[in-house]
Amino acid sequence: MTSFSPGFRGRARSLVDRLPPGQYPTESFPVLSAGPTPRVATDAWTFTVTTERGETHAWSWDRMMGLPQQDTVQDIHCVTRWSKFDTRWRGVALDVFLEDVETVAHHAVVDSHGGYTTNLALEDLLDGKAWIVHSYDGYPLSPEHGGPARLLVPHLYLWKSAKWVRGLRLTTEDEPGFWESVGYHNHGDPWREQRTWGD
């Protein structure tokens, strides 16, 4: 009797379905940084949300760690064409930071130590689509990958997932960030191959 393994076939097909156009899967975890790796101590770390009226809400490391934590398993996609399946992160959903923030803004600019910025529509940060993560695969996030904490927005190309995150500025106008202002797509949806301005 011939026997098939429907489990294997099913999983293989679903991985193909999970690969956005123009991407290839990788098992490794490449490091892509536009400059040197900042070293940020957790006792000096703060995450600051600034509203369009200039009000600030700030979380120390301990306060952030005291917020409801989520474990999330995500596929991530870099515009340089590698994708990595089933990456495991732990952190706090952006919804938690923003729930008590009064704003009429629809945009945000995320700021990092070292000067990197990236812009996002607020709707791409809310409803369980984005996290401030501090752990990867069960360990504290390494400095190379953005530790002590980075933004994770897995449904967009990974340049939106700012490493060494320090704050988020809510804006009424959309302001392009570091890569967006030199030709990367403003939104960066990997499923629509939004790599550069013309896409």
Ligand X SMILES: Nc1nc2c(c(=O)[nH]1)N[C@H]1C(S)=C(S)[C@@H](COP(=O)(O)O)O[C@H]1N2
8 Å CB contact between 171 and 107 = yes
For ligand X, the closer of residues 12 and 32 by Cβ is: 32
* Binding test (CB under 6 A) with ligand X, winner from 34, 44, 58, 182: 34
Nearer to ligand X, 66 or 183 (CB): 183
Q: How many helices (H) and strands (E) does the chain have?
A: 3, 11
27 or 43: CB nearest Mo ion = 27
Quick check: 159 binds Mo ion (CB under 5 A)?
Answer: yes
Q: What are the distances in angstroms from CA 184 to CA 46, 142, 160, 165, 195? A: 28, 26, 10, 20, 6
Q: Which of residues 162-181 bind ligand X (CB under 6 A)?
A: 162-164
Question: Does 182 contact ligand X by CB under 6 A?
Answer: no
**Distance between CA atoms of 139 and 31, rounded to whole angstroms?**
17
Q: Which is nearer to ligand X, 145 or 185 (CB)?
A: 145
Q: Is residue 32 close enough to count as binding Mo ion by CB under 5 A? A: yes
Conformational region of residue 128, where left means phi above 0, alpha means psi within -120 to 50, and beta covers everything else: left
Give residue 120's identity as a one-letter amino acid code.
Answer: L
Q: Which of residues 70-129 bind Mo ion (CB under 5 A)?
A: 78-79
Does 12 interact with ligand X (rule: CB under 6 A)?
no
Residue with tokens 């008590």: 100
- The SS3 assignment for 66 reads coil
How many of the chain's residues bind ligand X (CB under 6 A)? 17
Which residues contact Mo ion by CB under 5 A? 32, 78-79, 159
Which residues contact ligand X by CB under 6 A? 30-34, 78, 112, 114, 116, 145-146, 158-159, 161-164
